[in-house]
Amino acid sequence: MVVLALVGLWLCWGTSFPAMRVMAQTLPPLSASGAAFLAAGLLLATLRPTALRGLTFRQFATAAAIGVCLLGAQGTVALAERTTFAGTAALVVAALPLWVAVLGERPTRAGSLRILIGFSGVALLTGAQASTWTFVVAAAGFVWAIGTVATARTTNLPGPWATTAVQLLSGGLVLLAIGTATGEAVNQPTIASWLALAYLALVDSLAGFGLYTWLLRTTSAALVSTYAYVVPILACLISVLFMKEPLRPIMLAGAVLIVTSVATEVSARKPRTRTANTRT
């Protein structure tokens, strides 16, 4: 089940970066992302109404705070993808396990070397497409790592379904509120942008976050973080083959550094199994 869930997560999120770029071309990224998350959360709450029963205020507040971190980061990436290539954004976000290592226990010398190599790759990518938004993507990856570590460490979360629903609803509401408050302009939305929005709501949000939360509650954060070196490769392939994004030598060099660093960092950590929370 863990292997199947990991593969499903890779596919859901590997296709999400190109979908975010398509959506953001003609739809307001923050408001549209918020609407997608909110719709997914409402759909999940409707399909699993018993999941939220018995939810305490403390559990709700914890899940909501983590949801704002995770989904706020993703909404920020969608905003950046108006000018940043989807493949580049995916590779910069791929440094997630390195951020998790920095935020977790003190790394060993070998771990510190892996982290240094990985962030050297991030520096290459941000330098290759130097813009404020590329650095915003890097910051969003750091915020996402905070949410990931908090999810893995806290013992005060409800079951996976309830956690996912609360995260989607809270993150969606916050992004929608920010998008509305900043007066995001709506251009002339294309059919492709609407389809990308629907895809993000159903596949990226509902399926992806459901799998992600279940995995974090079932196995180790290090094992779950393996998606970070599969997703960017898949995202880059889709972006280059179907969206005609350029594939430059410096981008390949940065990708090799990041993926190699992340792969060795994750493999160096022995996965620890956890008892699944079966509460619905």
Taking 90 as the threshold, does the pLDDT of residue 279 lie above it?
A: no
User: CA–CA separation, 66 vs 166, rounded Å?
Assistant: 9
pLDDT at 174: 95
The pLDDT, as a whole number, for residue 179 is: 93
Cα 6-10-15 angle, rounded to 5 deg: 155
Q: Write down the pLDDT at residue 2.
A: 85
d(CA 85, CA 240): 10
pTM assigned to the model: 0.80
C-beta separation of 5 from 63 below 8 A:
no
Q: Which pLDDT band holds residue 37 (cuts at 50, 70, 90)?
A: very high
Query: Which of 23-27, 81-85, 112-116, 233-237 is predicted most confidently?
Result: 23-27
List pLDDT tens digits, range 58-96: 999 999 999 999 899 999 999 999 988 888 888 788 777
Residue 129: per-residue pLDDT: 63
C-alpha closest to that of 122 among 87, 95, 103, 83 = 95
